[in-house]
Amino acid sequence: MKCVESVKKEGLDGISFDISTDKNTVKMRYYMTIDERLDTIFNLTQWAHKNNLLTRCYLSECFGSPIGEKPKSKEITSIIKNLDSNNVNEIILQDTFGVYNIKNSLRLIDEIKIPKDKLSIHFYDSTLHGLEMIIGALSRGISKITTTIGGLGRHKHYEDIIGNVVASDLVFALDCLEIKHDVKWQELLIAEKKVCRWMRTENLSDVFSIDFKDKMQKYKEMIQKEMQKKRS
């Protein structure tokens, strides 16, 4: 609790904590049961609200876990209902392994009976369907998304787990679908370039690696050549 109390002293406006839907993960991380972890979160939330702090809970392994049995949707929605009743301001639904099934994941989101504006989503792109999953969640009324700058935070322990969806790829996809947002992806690309240079890491954004103007020019030239062939 001393670490949490330092938040107020530093002038920050909120605290975050996490819980897994998988009982084995909770036991391994915290040496307690899911119910005991929820009690801990309840105490943290009470303290935070007394001090006018916002609260955010990361709910991991919502859509499956590679180290345990997949929790039933009833168990997951029960945890979410508990967090909501304890007045947690924001609940982030996470798949940090990329084991989700899009159809089942959207079905789970439909079963959650709390206001969608209290929910956020965070997906890994290990099956290369992270963007599709995010767009699907948007169609269900969830409008808050967490991603990563330039692909930072990729998993270091498992080669097959690609990691977080890249922010600029998501913003570009939203632009293509004409979904309104307040982020300018060209400026985001510049920020990603700087951050990756500072961190001495490769920028894993797809849109960063493509020169769209060059691609478009080559495409126009190809079309013109095809038209000239037909005329001749």
**pLDDT, tens digit (0-9, with 9 covering 90-100), for 137-176:** 999 999 999 888 887 766 555 555 567 888 888 888 888 8
Comparing 165 with 112, the larger pLDDT belongs to 112
Comparing 92 with 103, the larger pLDDT belongs to 92
Quick one: pLDDT at residue 89?
Answer: 95
Compute the average pLDDT of residues 52-70.
81
* Model confidence pLDDT, tens digit, residues 5-52: 677 677 788 889 999 988 888 898 899 999 999 999 999 899 888 888
On average, the pLDDT of the chain sits at 83
Comparing 209 with 131, the larger pLDDT belongs to 131
- In contact, 15 and 56? CB cutoff 8 Å: yes
Residues 6+ apart with CB under 8 A from 132: 102
Alpha-carbon distances, residue 19 vs 5, 37, 74, 88, 165 (angstroms): 20, 7, 16, 13, 21
Quick one: pLDDT at residue 45?
Answer: 92
How many other CB atoms are found less than 10 A from the CB of residue 121? 24
Contacts 24+ apart (CB under 8 A), 45-48: 45/86, 45/87, 45/88, 47/1, 47/4, 48/4, 48/14, 48/15
Q: How confident is the model at residue 199 (pLDDT cuts 50, 70, 90)?
A: confident
Q: List phi, psi (to 5°) of 170.
A: -65, -45
Lowest-pLDDT range, 50-54, 86-90, 101-105, 218-222? 218-222
Comparing 101 with 119, the larger pLDDT belongs to 119
H/E stretch holding 57 reads strand 54-60
Comparing 72 with 87, the larger pLDDT belongs to 87
Compute the average pLDDT of residues 176-205.
86
Quick one: pLDDT at residue 68?
Answer: 61
> Which is nearest to 24 in space by CA: 54, 58, 66, 68?
68
Q: How confident is the model at residue 228 (pLDDT cuts 50, 70, 90)?
A: confident
For each of the domains in the chain, give its residue range(s) and CATH number, in order of start: 2-146 (3.20.20.70), 167-232 (no CATH)
